[in-house]
């Protein structure tokens, strides 16, 4: 009887694992289909020069995805070079993110010149040139802006380094017309 009970428990356990794996496959397929079925794509193209290697993070706060508000982050590695480089972030969305921020890495203090930031949503394009960084971005306490050289400079405070710039609301107004 004990052996029969153990066999029954084992069979139930095995069936529950198999059925959970099938559910996870369906959820992944549904997520992929949901992304492909979204009609709107927000793309953000950045032309920059950086003096250090690191990671740029595009942070979409409170984005509507599958009828839920979630925070999404896309990471891209940047390489230090003295010549102009380009990065592109693309996010299929439904609705509009509450805010969009750019994390300027957290490895080392660095200097970054954002030559151009271009946002595309549907048929709307909005371009921010390097001289207008302060006009269209809010800088957190780990970032300063040199108005003469148009350079963002990251810094450590109390041994912490978490530089972030956030698009001001006026950018959303121009982008999502």
Q: Per residue of the chain (177 residues), what is the pLDDT tens digit?
A: 544 544 444 444 344 444 444 443 333 333 344 444 445 788 899 999 999 998 989 988 876 556 666 677 888 988 888 789 999 988 876 667 778 899 998 878 999 999 999 998 878 899 999 999 999 999 999 999 999 999 999 999 999 999 999 999 888 776 665
Q: How far is CA 49 from CA 59, 118, 147, in A?
A: 20, 15, 16
Residue among 68, 76, 69 at smallest CA distance from 105: 76
CATH number, domain 40-175:
2.60.60
pTM of the model: 0.72
Domain boundaries along the sequence of the chain: 1-37, 40-175
Q: Cβ(111)–Cβ(152) under 8 Å? A: yes
Give 164's contacts (C-beta < 8 A, 6+ positions apart). 59, 101, 102, 103, 104, 139, 140, 142, 143
């Amino acid at each position: 009887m004990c052996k029969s009970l153990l066999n029954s428990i084992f069979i139930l356990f095995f069936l529950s694992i198999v059925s959970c794996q099938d559910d996870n496959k369906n959820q992944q397929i549904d997520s992929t289909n949901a992304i492909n079925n979204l009609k709107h794509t927000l793309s953000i193209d950045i032309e920059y020069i950086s003096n250090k290697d690191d990671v740029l993070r595009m942070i979409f706060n409170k984005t509507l995805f599958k009828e839920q508000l979630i925070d999404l982050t896309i990471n891209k590695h940047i390489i230090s070079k003295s010549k102009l480089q380009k990065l592109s972030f693309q996010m299929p969305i439904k609705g509009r993110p509450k805010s969009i921020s750019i994390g300027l890495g957290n490895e080392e203090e660095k200097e970054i010149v954002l030559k151009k930031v271009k946002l595309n949503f549907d048929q709307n394009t909005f371009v921010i040139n390097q001289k207008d960084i302060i006009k269209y971005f809010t800088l957190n306490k780990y970032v300063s802006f040199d108005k003469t050289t148009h350079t963002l400079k990251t810094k450590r405070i109390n041994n912490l380094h978490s530089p972030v710039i956030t698009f001001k609301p006026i950018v959303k107004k121009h982008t999502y017309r």
